[in-house]
Amino acid sequence: MTTAPADDEYEDLLSHWLDLESALAMLLAHPGRVREYTAKVRQCDLWLQGIVGRDTDAALYLMFQLATTSTVGYSASHALVCATLCQILAPKLQLSALERDSLVRAAITMNIGMTALQNELALQREPPSTEQRQAIAHHPQAGVALLEELGIRDDLWLDVVAQHHTPPPEQALLTSLPTEQRLARILATTDRYAAMISPRKSRPGRSATDSVRALVGHDELRHGDVGIALLHTVGLCPPGTFVRLDNGETAVVLRRSARANAPLVASVVNTQGTALKQPLLHHTARGGPQVQSALSRSAVTVEVDHRAMVRLGLYAARITPTLGA
């Protein structure tokens, strides 16, 4: 049994994440009420950079856990997931600072042309109506028009929003594409991944493992290069996802390791299916119980204390500095 001590050095990342999600909800749902819109988006971007820079594994934990339980609406939650993934992928894909800025800000605002509809669709069991499909098809152009009205003057940001649903040339390598197409492909891949892991009324979310495998599969060839980068960066079993261990316990992943399928986990349900009073840490990369399979969030009924889990993960990283990927 392992618990993290109460220590003031642990910043409350959960509160920062929830505050950022609320700020994004206002930016997307009521853009006309926001003064200095460009500056506010940039501030949210800097806020996100701070959270991810403080601890990427903790940010991933919060992203995967809260994307399935957001109280501010699907659109804001989805935007934050995509922006977080783009922020984490930027170094792996060797993006310049300007490219990263435009990409992350496009991720935040790509669906601003259909915010209310996106929230509505997430709660809708039936397929989209003809009218809804038309609005979905035109939302990139509607989003660009609205962003221009709000004072956005970054042409690359606007181009990525405009093209995030436009398929690039078949089988073209990411590095061979013009900048706006390259960033649009990155955003399209994170958009698809975020949609797969997030539940809706019409379907449960898929596990992160199944989602990333779908992106790098043969039937998703045009997403393959970005999908592989996502796999290498986030892992098969990212922080915040649930797994079944080969000893029968159910655990939540806290941190990545150098091996994509061997993370640090905390068991939260024992072999009899009973919730544990205290989590049990397992360093699967060092032996002991191994990850048997990934679980979707809908397959796990236990509620976990996110603050305690983030603190536990940070504590484990402090005593095992080489743990992170």
Q: Across-strand partners of 264?
A: 255, 283
Split at pLDDT 50, 70, 90, the class of 1 is very low
265 sits in the region (left: phi over 0; alpha: psi -120 to 50; else beta) called beta
pLDDT at 125 over 70: yes
**C-alpha span between 240 and 129 (Å, rounded):** 34
**Contact 87/48 with Cβ under 8 angstroms?**
yes
Checking if the pLDDT of 6 tops 60, the result is: no
- Encoded tokens for 293: 């399979």
| Rounded average pLDDT over 93-118 | 97
From 3.30.450.70, 1.10.3210.10, 1.10.1740.10, 2.60.120.10, which CATH number describes the 13-206 domain? Answer: 1.10.3210.10
DSSP state of 288: S
Per-residue model confidence as pLDDT tens digits over 54-97: 899 999 999 999 876 766 788 999 999 999 999 999 999 999 99
Task: Flag whether pLDDT at 140 surpasses 50.
Answer: yes
Of 15-19, 252-256, 262-266, 317-321, the one with minimum mean pLDDT is: 317-321
Q: How confident is the model at residue 195 (pLDDT cuts 50, 70, 90)?
A: confident
Q: Which residues have C-beta within 8 Å of that of residue 251, sequence separation ≥ 6?
A: 242, 243, 244, 245, 265, 266, 267, 268, 269, 280, 282
Domain ranges for the chain: 13-206, 242-319
Whole-number Å distance between alpha carbons of 101 and 45? 8
List of E strands, 121-272: 242-245, 250-255, 264-269
Q: Sign of dihedral through CA atoms 104, 254, 323, 291?
A: negative
pLDDT surpasses 50 at 210: yes
CA 190 to chain centre: 8
Question: Model pTM?
Answer: 0.89
pLDDT for residue 260: 75
Residue tagged 């261990």 (tokens):
245
Please compute the mean of the pLDDT values over residues 272-292 and round it to a whole number. Answer: 91
Reported confidence tier of residue 3, pLDDT bands at 50, 70, 90: very low
